[in-house]
Amino acid sequence: MTWYIDQGPESDIILTSRVRLARNLDHFPFPHRMDNQQSRQAADEIIEAFFGGDEERRHSYLTLDLDSLSEEDQQALAEKRLISPDLARPGQNRRVLISRDEAVSIMINEEDHIRIQSMQPGLNLETAYEAAAGAALVLEKSLSMAYSENYGFLTACPTNTGTGMRASVMAHLPGLALSGRLKDVIESLNKMGFAVRGQYGEHSKSQGHLLQISNQLTLGITEDDLINDLKRMLQQLIEQERKIRREIYRQQPVTLEDKVMRAYGIMHNARLMTNEEAASLLSDLRFGMALGLLPQMSEADLNRIQAAMGPASIQKARGKPMPPEERDNARATIIRELLQ
């Protein structure tokens, strides 16, 4: 399933679920300590171990050498969340294997030798984990991984040691934001052991009321318990967000309807649109659609815009680098086309 096409459970609030597994080879230094020859050898070993003689699996994945891609192409992959922003930064022998349905990405020579991620639409952590764990099992059968009986899987950053697993969701929380309660909720989540970041993870900012929420604990806990703890918290968060949305609509129906319809009109007619404005308007449309104000639209319509509106994605779609104003014009045009 592709996150920006398909629809999943609780998708009025949870846009995507992601599970990422970190693994390292025990006979190489961590990537930040490897020289060019070591990183190339590690990448070759990982790719060969994953595909082996399985031609069906090989045809099911796209293999990309990021060093051979333009900066715009790399950033476009990150904007679609097929690779991490870190993998899109300069490095050596960076590779990625992406399943044809874009549900699984195997990143090579990022912070760890191997980072496997599975993305699913909506609140679907179990399916994401099954897909990521299946890919990890293929590699673990053929490669000797850095593993400690006392600590679990060893990783470049100690905060990932243990399961090597990060489970996260992308949550749309306009109700909490508009009511002024979001800051308190984030502080509470941090105290409970969850990390809250911008939509592209660590060091990124939130746009359009989108936040990434993930586990922080990876040591001394099983993968199932980690997922269950995250899901229990998310169910409470979902109910809280829905309740506040209803309160806002009940108290200010005309104001909210005007906000949503203005967003609808601007996105259908604008000739220039920045990425920040598009994110804000898209948030308004999501809010309105969840309240039944836009029956003519689907979540898939909005998700396709979400995946296509980033600066690098715009330039990739038009096949050339663009100055900001030309890019904003192209973004507005692409959004109008997607809304037709």
Burial class (CB within 10 angstroms; exposed 0-12, middle 13-18, buried 19+) of 93: buried
Distance, in Å, from the CA atom of 63 to the CA atom of 40, rounded to the nearest integer, reads 15
Distance, in Å, from the CA atom of 219 to the CA atom of 160, rounded to the nearest integer, reads 8
CATH 3.30.590.10 range(s) for the chain read 14-221
Describe the strand order of the beta sheet including 114-121 as a list of residue ranges: 61-65, 95-99, 104-108, 114-121, 14-23, 165-172, 210-215, 194-197
With 0.85 as the threshold, say if the pTM is over it: yes
Query: What is the SS3 assignment for 46?
Result: helix
pLDDT tens digit at each of 340 positions of the chain: 677 778 899 999 999 999 999 999 999 999 999 999 999 999 999 999 999 989 999 999 999 999 999 999 999 999 999 999 999 998 899 999 999 999 999 999 999 999 999 999 999 999 999 999 999 999 999 999 999 999 999 999 999 999 999 999 999 999 999 999 999 999 999 999 999 998 655 555 678 999 999 999 888 899 999 999 999 999 999 999 999 999 999 999 999 999 999 999 999 999 999 999 999 999 999 999 999 999 989 888 999 999 999 999 999 999 999 999 999 999 999 999 999 8
H-state helical runs in the chain: 36-51, 55-60, 71-79, 125-142, 174-178, 182-191, 223-251, 253-269, 275-290, 299-308, 311-318, 324-339
Query: How many CB atoms sit inside 10 A of residue 77's CB?
Result: 24
147 sits in which H/E element: strand 147-148
Residue linked to tokens 């990183």: 39
Class of domain 14-221: alpha beta
Residue 5 has a pLDDT of 79
Residue 271 has a pLDDT of 98
Residue 202 has a pLDDT of 58
Residue 178 has a pLDDT of 94
Could you please report the per-residue DSSP string of 239-251? HHHHHHHHHHHHH
Closest Cα partner for 46 from 93, 78, 103, 83? Answer: 93
Closest Cα partner for 83 from 106, 65, 58? Answer: 106
**DSSP code for 148:** E
Distance, in Å, from the CA atom of 321 to the CA atom of 311, rounded to the nearest integer, reads 10
CA 6 to each of CA 101, 102, 226, 290, 337: distance values in angstroms, whole numbers, following the listed order: 11, 12, 25, 16, 19
